[in-house]
Amino acid sequence: MTEDRFIRDLKIRTEKADRAVLSYLPKPERFNKTTVDAMLYSVGNGGKRLRPLLMIEFFKLNRNDEDLIYPFAAALEYIHSYSLIHDDLPCMDNSDLRRGKPSTHKQFGEWQALLAGDGLLNYAIETILNHTNYSKIPVETALICLKELLIASGINGMVGGQNLDLESEGKSLNIDELTLLQSKKTGAIIKAAGRIGVIASGGGGKTLRLADEYCENLGRMFQMTDDILDVCGNERLLGKPTNGDCSHNKSTFVSELGLEKAKKITGELAEKAIKAAKMLQNDFLGDLANFLLTRNK
């Protein structure tokens, strides 16, 4: 695929994922207006829509009716958004900026952000329950997908990873510990995107193993690239201050490996993801891994 063609395809897919994510959002009512407004602000605040995009792409490996997976794709993004809102709060990472705009608690206040996060996690599951088309996705399959999602977002996935991350501030972590942290905090949700896409489409076996292989490597690469951009990135492009990890006294792949070695490993992880994409005979996923390797924001 030429680069121009890929950029155009990425744009089309991102817009589709974005529309899916926005389509299920609730309308505020008088009694919940502040909380719902804060939810809409956070989810509407752009982002790459990488997770829903991946889920839709993996669903399409097996089926054409991609709108069937939209409720799950939206739910995954709502859970991602809730985690960012809570992570940005003063008692966690205390971040004033998110994607170049005030973080949710800076815009709305602290209790408003806390409730918006709670509301989004709850609403994510409601979205799946209210909008899954059980005549096209068997109810047993939908339940397996819901379970995959909640394992990835809970104490054995994202919440557990955030616990490990906050406990590790001021401590030096080795590469194994950093890899565990990342696999829980950000990796689990990215992996769930691929798995739910495949499982909901009726796929499994080799396709599921390749989805795992692709998403695990892409997730690790994505996190390492984040660490690299935190050192070398442009604050304006990133929409957030750089050197945040350093000022929080956090171990990162860059602090532990050095910049050159970290860059080398991200390249190797991208290669592994690209190889999995080839075996899935999906050019777009291969190009996406390459694109995310060279991102500057």
Residues numbered 64-83 forming contacts with its own copies, rule: CB under 8 A: 82
Q: Which of residues 231-290 bind its own copies (CB under 8 A)?
A: none
Single residue of 10, 22, 180, 231 touching its own copies by CB under 8 A: 180
C-alpha span between 161 and 254 (Å, rounded): 19
Asked if 187 is part of the footprint of its own copies (rule: CB under 8 A), the reply reads no
Residues 93-152, interacting with its own copies (CB under 8 A)? 109-111, 114-115, 117-119, 121-123, 125-126, 129-130, 139-140, 143, 146-147, 150-151
119 C-beta neighbours (distance < 10 Å), count: 20
- Backbone region of residue 2 per phi and psi (left: phi > 0; alpha: psi in -120 to 50; beta: other values): beta
Q: How far apart are CA 190 and CA 148, in angstroms?
A: 11
Contact between residue 183 and residue 253 where contact means Cβ atoms under 8 Å apart: no
Q: Which of 111, 22, 5, 20 is nearest to 57 (CA)?
A: 20
Phi, psi angles (nearest 5°) of residue 97: -120, 145
By CB under 8 A, tell whether 181 contacts its own copies. yes
292 binds its own copies, rule: CB under 8 A:
no
- One residue of 89, 208, 231, 265 binding its own copies per CB under 8 A: 89
| Residues that bind its own copies in the complex, under the rule CB under 8 A | 26, 29, 31-36, 39, 82, 86, 89, 91-92, 109-111, 114-115, 117-119, 121-123, 125-126, 129-130, 139-140, 143, 146-147, 150-151, 153-156, 159-164, 166-167, 180-181, 184
